[in-house]
Amino acid sequence: MLIKNPKFEISAVRHNQYPSNGLPEIVLVGKSNVGKSSFVNTMINRKKLARTSSEPGKTRQINFYNIDEKFYFVDLPGYGYSKMSKKEQEQVGKFIEDYLFHRKEISLIIFLVDIRHNPTENDKLMYRYIMSSGLPCLILANKADKIAITKVDEAVKSIQSQLNPLGDIPTLPFSSERKIYQEDVWKIIEDSLI
């Protein structure tokens, strides 16, 4: 997809702060530091529109990026960041839940896991939660640049068999570092916007 004018629109923590123009939303979900904000930058070819950090816990609100008035990338805070206070973790958990369960505009959930590791218990919980929402989902095994290219298929299969043994949810490798596999992901995003 050719992106001309991607814009950061708003950071929200409550539904009355979400955009109200009805554009479809592609939402990034995954543990802290897995690469959700980097994914947004990679897909729109901007280095710093979404703020990223090598420290987990960078994104603390729901950030809406307006992509050419066609759709939003919605960058959520990650889960599993133990340095956040318990109270803050609960608050963040609550507004993620509110967003995922009530937002009618969601057209696709992109669920990121780390290609190098087995999905965590929190990943499995989140995956079940996404499935119970009934929303379309794409699983991305991110940071594929961190393993040998010859091991990528095997690692993706292993992640798929742990999260989705039926194999009915698309699961692809991804890497923001090497900017590979983007075309396949765009195809799924575009299909979800029809």
Rule CB under 6 A: which residues touch ligand GTP?
Answer: 30, 32-38, 52-54, 56-59, 77-78, 142-143, 145-146, 175-177
Residue 2 burial class via C-beta count within 10 angstroms: exposed 0-12, middle 13-18, buried 19 and up: exposed
Rounded CA separation 121/119 (Å): 7
Task: Tell me how far, at minimum, the Cβ of 96 lies from ligand GTP, in Å.
Answer: 11
Q: Which is nearer to ligand GTP, 39 or 168 (CB)?
A: 39
Q: Which is nearer to Mg ion, 143 or 152 (CB)?
A: 143
Closest residue to ligand GTP, based on beta-carbon distance = 78
Dihedrals phi, psi of 82, to nearest 5 degrees: -75, -15
- 88 touches, from Mg ion, ligand GTP, none (C-beta below 5 to 8 Å by class): none
Residue 42 as a binder of Mg ion (CB under 5 A): the answer is: no
Please say whether the beta carbons of 89 and 57 come within 8 A. Answer: no
- 171 touches, from Mg ion, ligand GTP, none (C-beta below 5 to 8 Å by class): none
Q: Which is nearer to Mg ion, 97 or 191 (CB)?
A: 97
Dihedral sign of CA atoms 81, 83, 85, 88 in order: negative
- 35 touches, from Mg ion, ligand GTP, none (C-beta below 5 to 8 Å by class): ligand GTP
Task: Tell me how far, at minimum, the Cβ of 147 lies from ligand GTP, in Å.
Answer: 10
Rounded CA separation 66/36 (Å): 16
Task: Tell me how far, at minimum, the Cβ of 142 lies from Mg ion, in Å.
Answer: 12
- 6 touches, from ligand GTP, Mg ion, none (C-beta below 5 to 8 Å by class): none
Helix axes 36-44, 182-193, angle to 10 degrees: 90
Task: Tell me how far, at minimum, the Cβ of 59 lies from Mg ion, in Å.
Answer: 3
Q: Residues 27-45, buried b or exposed e (16+ Cβ, 10 A)?
A: bbbbbbbbbbbbbbbbbbe
- 38 touches, from Mg ion, ligand GTP, none (C-beta below 5 to 8 Å by class): ligand GTP
Closest residue to Mg ion, based on beta-carbon distance = 59
Secondary structure (3-state) at 6:
strand
Beta-carbon count within 10 A of 79 CB: 20
